[in-house]
A and B are shown apart, each in its own frame.
Chain A
Amino acid sequence: MAKFFAVTIIIIAILSAIPVLRHTWDMPEDISTHGSLIDEQMTETMIEAGIAFLAAQFLLAIFIWKFSNQSPDAKIKKFPGGAKALVIAALLVVGIEVLALGVFGVKAWANVYLTPPAADAMPIQVQAGQFAFYFRYPGPDGKFGAIHPELSNEGTQNYFGLDPEHDPASRDDIVAAEMAIPVNKEIHLLMHAKDVGHSFFVRELRVQQDFVPGLDVSLHFTATKIGKYEIVCTQLCGLGHYNMKAYLNVLSQQDFDDWIKKEQAMQ
């Protein structure tokens, strides 16, 4: 029985590894400038974890095969050095693996979060609220009007609580339900939540960022391929979370200029 179990473990380990090695479920295409760093990090993690997983499963199977059904007076073999040495060895092996992943991964993280956006990056404000994303562009004056939460009114589509009557900077702001950006232009996203926690996730952009109520979060990225992509909320935010999404339209500069003009006319 034990030997049968040992063989089953090995079969399961190999079957689990096959789809990963054959890239059966691959990552969606990467359309960002920092995406390759993240994808490399993912691959390295899978390799390290994969080797550790297979090694552990094989060792387990071997031990079960060899040492089950032993007679009661067989000698019990000990790990050389005893329990203390075993713990130290485990700490070192796992610790080095995790540290290595962390050290090599810092560059991917820093690229998105710890470096300042380029001076000519285009700022776009994103507001996540139950259950839709709304985007605001500063308009020709380049300034975002102040947000007055007490003035926000979904019935009149004043999602950001702007006060065009008293605040000139908000008069030319463009509020849209979809996010259009020009290709190959750095975008500086300024994100805040209207109510509860949400998350902004575009898998092709390799960008996923939680909105924490009360915090102003910012990140920057550059999209490299024209197309329409989904922005989905990936933080459970209530009964409409399943329905919370928006579309990211990466357009040529010309198409983007046309789009912005069209949106401006509709404000």
Chain B
Amino acid sequence: MNTRKIVLALLTTLVCSSLMFAGTVSGKVTYTGTPVRQKPIDMSKEPSCAKQHATPITTETVVTGPNNALDNVVVYISSGAPDDGQVPTQAITYTQKGCQYVPHVLPMHVDQEFQILNDDQTSHNIHPQPKINTEWNKSQPPGTPPIKEKYDKPEFIPVKCNIHPWMHGWFVVLKTSHYDVSKEAGDFKLPNLPPGKYTITAWHEDYGTQTADVTITGNETKDVNFTFKAKAY
């Protein structure tokens, strides 16, 4: 009887402690050097989109923020995270608006459903180009319901529109739900990390991948920063 109580008490402490102790990894992504200038996009062949942009938008291969911040970098736990297999249920959307993909980079969990919306007055034909997952392309005339899809293998998938060659974006399919995308000042945050040893990976579509190892012991916030080298061309 006593042993049972002790074991129960120990178990409770362990479980509670792992729930109580949840650290955070946060930081900034920056770049050094001078990124190549992003070119303005001429949408004259699609007037309904062209008129939505008073100044033409530019390509989004390299998006920067104040103080050399580098945006659209996907930061995620590449090893050490409990692969809980639990697919997040929150709705994520990828919108075609003004003949542009919003957001430019969409991270998601394996098997998580995402929706593709067409907010434009013209048809689009979204064509993600995976090498591991199944390749497909789907036409979406204006006013039609969202396309619902999901991917079952982790991969970095470039996305293009078959009708509008300048449209480009990314689906980032990950095994983990601990991910974030750097925005504006280059900030990212990975909360709710139980104590353990983690490898954090930062991926940029043009500047490549970097990793950092970090250990969480309790409730602390660990500061991890990534610096990418800009390419001249």
Which of A's residues lie within 8 Å of B, judged by CB?
Answer: 129-133, 154-157, 159, 164-165, 176-178, 238-240, 243-247, 266-267
Contact = CB atoms under 8 A, between A and B. Distances in A.
B42 interface: yes
From A156, A164, A243, A244, residue with most partner B Cβ within 10 Å: A156
B158 interface: yes
B233 A131 contact: no
B176 interface: no
B44 A177 contact: yes
29 contacts: A129-B165, A130-B162, A130-B165, A131-B165, A132-B164, A132-B165, A154-B160, A154-B166, A156-B39, A157-B41, A157-B166, A159-B165, A164-B233, A176-B42, A177-B44, A177-B45, A178-B42, A239-B139, A239-B163, A240-B162, A240-B163, A243-B46, A243-B123, A243-B163, A246-B44, A246-B45, A247-B44, A266-B40, A267-B39
Given A155-B61, A155-B160, A239 B125 contact: yes
A165 B139 CA distance: 37
Contacts of B158: 155
B168 interface: yes
Given A176-B42, A266-B40, A239 B162 contact: yes
Among A176, A244, A266, the most chain B Cβ lie within 10 Å of the Cβ of: A266
Contacts of A155: 59, 61, 158, 160, 168
B196 to A, nearest CB: 37
Contacts of B160: 154-155
A133 B40 CA distance: 17
Interface in B141-187: 158, 160, 162-166, 168
Given A178-B42, A246-B44, A266-B40, A240 B125 contact: yes
Best-buried of A165, A178, A243, A247 by chain B (most CB within 10 Å): A243
B122 interface: yes
B91 interface: no
Interface residues of B, number: 24
B232 interface: yes
Interface in B107-158: 122-123, 125, 139, 158
Interface in B28-63: 39-46, 59, 61
A52 B162 CA distance: 47
Contacts of A159: 165
Contacts of A154: 160, 165-166, 168
B26 to A, nearest CB: 29
A266 B43 CA distance: 14
Contacts of B45: 132-133, 177, 243-247
Given A164-B233, A246-B45, A266 B39 contact: yes
B42 A177 contact: yes
Contacts of B42: 176-178
Given A155-B160, A177-B42, A177-B45, A165 B232 contact: yes
A131 B39 contact: no
A165 B163 CA distance: 29
Closest 9 CB pairs of A and B: A155-B168, A177-B42, A240-B163, A165-B233, A154-B165, A157-B39, A132-B165, A156-B61, A178-B44
Contacts of A247: 44-45
